[in-house]
Structure 1
Amino acid sequence: MISQEEVSRSLRNVQPADYIFKIESFSLLSETEFESYESNDFEAGGYKWRLSFYPNGNKKRNVEDHISFYLQIADTDNLLSPCWEVNVNFKLFVYDHIRDMYLSVEDAGQVRRFHWMRTENGFDRFLSLDTFKNASNGYLVDDCCVFGAEVFVIRNTGKGECLSMKKEPYYKTSYTWRVGDFLNRECLNSNVFKAKEWNWRLQLYPKGDETTDGQCVSLYLKVVDCETLPVNWKLYAKCKLRIKRYDNIYEKEVYCCFRASCDRWGFRNFMPSSTLEDSVTKLLGGNEITVEAEIEILSVIKNLT
């Protein structure tokens, strides 16, 4: 069971979401020969549960002068696996009639395991009888009291991912694109090229893309047809992009994460447009530049199912 050091207590004005357990004539219940009372079954999180209430403490656990209060999983014969397990966050409550508040008692936010060898979890010392019976606390009024439960089942969907980062690149490739007659073009796209199982292309904006003021060259590396990839695909990579014209080289490097919501990485301000125009105007050899990309794939991501 849960030790006193692990118990968290707080007040709230919202009633328990899953089950309410009201006792009229508490004194008569506590004076009977019955050591405990079990509630009817209730459903929460796809399972059936019941409350186990000891008005004078659980003698089997040597509890005295306290109420013992537990959550039990019910109908275990219908659970699918013979070695079943259910992980749960749960809270048990007692109502304060005077302040119209509920005292919530929980296991300090920890997850508790219910399984075929342990079908009950809860609090040996839920509340001392002195505190409970003190009229000024509002828990027992006209010999009537109200308890409750809230159960949140932690479900394992079987879904997840495994990220393996590599000290050395998992895969490395490069691509060279020769571009001519570009000065008056708004946007140019390279041919599609392959790096591992992904298709890529370079995108060049000689006057900058829509996010710039027209004074800078924008250059991007883009994953093509990302809508055909798995829904949650992602890829970590180191990319170098460069523009070359004879001995003039402009290069930038970026570490990036490609994913469905961000299938393009690069630089909107890769270099000044005027620098590129001047290099074409002043140097012989025609209106042509070389654009290069180096891609180092740094991660392997596998789905866990």
Structure 2
Amino acid sequence: MADIILQEAALRRREKILEIKDLEFQDTILKFSRFLEESAEKRKRSAAKASAERAAEQAALSRREVVLRQVSAAKDAVRALESQLRDFQRYKAFMQAAAEQSHGLLPTPEALMARHELLQATSTSLARECAEAEQALDGARLERAAAAADGRERCERLHLQLLLVQLACDRAERAAHGLLARTDGLAAQERCGAADGESGSAAFDIKARMSDACAPMALVDGRAASALAAASPADQTVALRQLVADLRSVLDGGPPAPASGKGLALKQDARVKGPSTCVIG
């Protein structure tokens, strides 16, 4: 019995020990859980810090590259300025030497610069005037070409008109020769006392041919055929002989032959009445 009691007491002590160990184990688990949570938070903070540090480092590297480029650009600018300074110093020395060698005409570099600017402005003005002169010359060439083309066209038209007048003069001369023969025959019939009907028809034929013969001559000296058509057969014969002489003179390249007597009076009468309009067929 005493053994059982001792065993029960020992069992209760073990149970308490187990409970205490269990509580200790739970406390350990709780502490370990908090440790894990704290470790996770620390890892997060460490990772965030590392990321921030890497970003800062990258930004620092970028700024370093920018600064290096700026420093390099500044060095290049300094070298360029030093080169310009050397050029300016050489140019200053040259200007001073040129001023000294000008024998008082350009006593200072400023006077030399003013003369240079004046010459440059004069050169620019001359170049502009030269360009304007070239434009004017081009315009004159175009006008000359247009005038030459117009002159050639007018010469061609005048040459064509001259050919037409020459052809008309040839026709008029042939008609005039026929009229002379016809008027000579009519004059012979009048002297022999021919019939009035034949004389009238012959006179009408002469007037018709006279109009055909005188129409081309209006292109040469401006006479009107109506003045000759109203004249008598004898006057027409005289005028016709003068017309033949004029046509021959014109065809030979000279002025119309001088008129005399009835022919001159008929020409003056034709000029007073004005030139007639003639169309060459």
What's the TM-score once normalised by structure 2's chain length? Answer: 0.16
What's the TM-score once normalised by structure 1's chain length? Answer: 0.15
State the structure with more CA Rg: 2
